[in-house]
Structures are given as structure tokens and as C-alpha cells.
Amino acid sequence: MQFPDFAGNQEIKQLLDHMFTEGRLPHAVILQGEDGLGKRMLAEIIASAAVCSAGEKAPCGKCPGCIKAAAGSHPDIHRAQGTGASRSFHVEEIRFIRSDVYKKPHEARYRVYLLFGAHTMSVQAQNALLKVLEEPPEYALFILTCPSASALLPTVRSRAQIFSLTPPSLEEAVQAALKKCPQVTPREMEEAALRWGCNVGKMISSFTEEDRAAATALAVSIAQAACAPQELPLLEMTAPMLRDRELVRQVMDYLLLVFRDACAIRAGSDALLAGSGDAEKAARMLAGSLTRERLVRLPQLVRETRERVDRNANTPLLVTEFCARLRTLTGK
């Protein structure tokens, strides 16, 4: 099995290659890791390999199986996902799969079910899936993606092999991201790699998504408002986050950098992650106005909030609590 353009994660690639070559792929695989690490990409590579006719060199990218897989039209690959909201991955979807999985593959060796964002499966849906995972037909291959497998029922987890994706090395990350963003200079990309912890997906989207700019601006405003005298601006400016989970993610990712910078400045370091300009001003303001004890709790608060987003906590509640705790920490 080969992994075109999939950076890093050498151990996972070796293991998958070995299992694939020996014909011993598990019936269920869970790919876990934060957004941007390539869970979906790896899931698609495994699915293509499973329907490719090139043997050990699968996916070859050229055979009819690979071409159909890439076009999303292979009859033996079924893709499903929720809307991203909590419990939005419905039991009806799994019921369909249960009736579908016992039909023999149309043309490939495997019948592949890609379940993206599996953490949004309702408990009912997970229990329905469990019934198939307990006695899957020989040719069935389930690939689930989620930020953390801990969001799934233990019974589901125990039926699957879990692979944890990690960021590649700096060099690999820069190389992989540059392929997708040829307009960016290697130096700029290296800075992005340092900023985003070599998370290739985040590096790419920091150059491509307009949303990213809006989220960054909002994060800076929140950092500024944290030191401002009234409560109102903070609540007002976080209002768009109440209904937008992805925005919360992006804001938290950037806010973490600003808060880390505030800690660094306080410690006398000039190695800033969030960049210069307003982000730096906000970080300096925080560093100058808070005790060291309180400062170090800011990144902690953001990390906790970020983890709760991934675990599908109620978004409005999460944002409201975040504002309240931020206020307490900044002592206003």
C-alpha cells in the first residue's frame, strides 16, 4: 500500500501497508486526531487501496477502481457523515448500512463504509453500528474518523483498531503544504508550520480561507476585550460564535497563540507565535496587566474549551462559560 502526498505518520503507514499486503486489514478502523491532520485524506487512501486492482502498490490512482473512488462514484465505497452538530449522524444512516453491508461487493474485494465525524453519531446510531461490527461480513471495511475515539462508546471502540494521527516533521509539513499553496514562499510556510504545530491542514487553510482572517480578528478582539472595563463587548463580540462551532474552533486556535505570546512576553521572550500588529499589542497588554499565575491559566482555559468543542459540548453554553471564566481570570 502506498500513501501519495500523505505526510508523516510513518508507523501508521507501515502498519497499514503490512496489514493490507497480508490481507489482514481489520474490519473497523478508527482514525483519530485533531482537525487538519489528514484523517479524511487517509480514510480515502485506504478506501481507494481497498478497491484498487494494483495489488501491493495500491492505490495506483490509474485503474478504474481508483478513478471511480476519486470521483466518488465507486459502487463499493459508501460515505456518510453528520452535519457536524452533536448527534447529527442519524441512526437511519446506519440502518441503511446494515441492510446494505450484507450484499456482496459489486466489483472490488472489499465493501467500504467511510463514516466521517463518527463522534456525532447518536448513541442509538452507535449501537446500531455495533451490531454490524460484532459480525461483519468478510469483505466489510469500516473507516471511522473523529477528533477523539473517547467520544465513541467503549463497545464500538473495542471492535476497531484505533490509529492516532500526529503532525509530521517541520520539513515534511512545509513540503506537503507548499504543494497545495504554490503561491506561498517556503519561508512563509515555515512560519505557518511553527504557528500551527506542523498541522498541514491548518497551515493550508491559514493561507486559503477568508474565514481564517475573520476568526483571527475576532480572537484578537477577545484578547483585547478581556482587559477592557465592561462585560458587554465580550458578550457582544462572541455572539457569532454561539451558533458556529467551526468559528469557535478557529477562534480558540488563534487565541491560544495570543495567550501563549502573553506568557512568553511576561517570561521575557521575544519568540512570538501570533505575529506582530494587533495580536502582539493584545498579548503585551495582557502580559502587563495580569499576574503570572493568572496568565498561565489563559492558554489552559482555551485548551479546555477547544477540547470541549471537539467533544461536542453544547456550543452556546460553552461560549458563555468561556466568557465568564475569561472574565474571572482577567479579574474584571
Instruction: Give least dist CB 163 to Zn ion, A.
Output: 22
* 266: three-class secondary structure by DSSP: helix
Binding segment toward Zn ion, per CB under 5 A, in 7-15, 51-59, 293-301, 309-317:
51-59
> Which window, 52-60, 85-93, 159-167, 296-304, contacts Zn ion (CB under 5 A)?
52-60
Amino acid at 316: P
Does position 63 interact with Zn ion (CB under 5 A)? The reply is yes
Name the residue with the smallest CB distance to Zn ion.
Answer: 52
Rounded CA separation 109/332 (Å): 63
Closer to Zn ion by Cβ: residue 55 or 84: 55
CA distances to 31, 203, 296 from 35, rounded to whole Å, are 11, 11, 25
Stretch of 53-61, 129-137, 193-201, 269-277 contacting Zn ion, by CB under 5 A = 53-61
Q: Which is closer to Zn ion, CB of 15 or CB of 70? A: 70
Q: What does the DSSP 8-state code read for residue 103?
A: S
Does 108 contact Zn ion by CB under 5 A? no
Q: Which range in 48-56, 77-85, 143-151, 188-196 contacts Zn ion by CB under 5 A?
A: 48-56
d(CA 153, CA 130): 9
* Choice from 66, 132, 219, 265 touching Zn ion (CB under 5 A): 66
Query: Helices 315-330 and 292-310: crossing angle, nearest 10°?
Result: 180
- The three cell numbers of residue 148 are 477523539
Contacting residue, 19, 54, 214, 329, with Zn ion by CB under 5 A:
54
CA–CA dist 94, 63 (Å, integer): 30
Name the residue nearer to Zn ion (CB basis): 7 or 50: 50
| Helix or strand run (H / E) with residue 251 | helix 245-266
With CB under 5 A as the contact rule, which of the stretches 60-68, 94-102, 207-215, 268-276 interacts with Zn ion?
A: 60-68
Identity of the residue, 46 or 295, whose beta carbon is nearer to Zn ion in the bound complex: 46
185's grid cell: 514562499
Is there a cis peptide before residue 59, judged by omega within 30 degrees of 0? yes
- Smallest separation (angstroms) from Zn ion to the CB of 207: 31
**Exposed (0-12), middle (13-18) or buried (19+): which is 310, by Cβ within 10 Å?**
middle
- Closest CB 61 distance from Zn ion, rounded Å: 6
Stretch of 57-65, 109-117, 127-135, 316-324 lying at the interface with Zn ion (CB under 5 A): 57-65
Counting contacts by CB under 5 A, is residue 52 touching Zn ion? yes
* In contact, 97 and 80? CB cutoff 8 Å: yes
Cell numbers 462514484: residue: 73
Contact pattern from residue 184 through residue 213 relative to Zn ion, giving x for each residue in contact according to CB under 5 A and a dash for the rest: ------------------------------
Say how many residues make up the chain: 332
Choice from 12, 19, 60, 235 touching Zn ion (CB under 5 A): 60
* Binding interface with Zn ion (CB under 5 A): 52, 54, 59-60, 63, 66
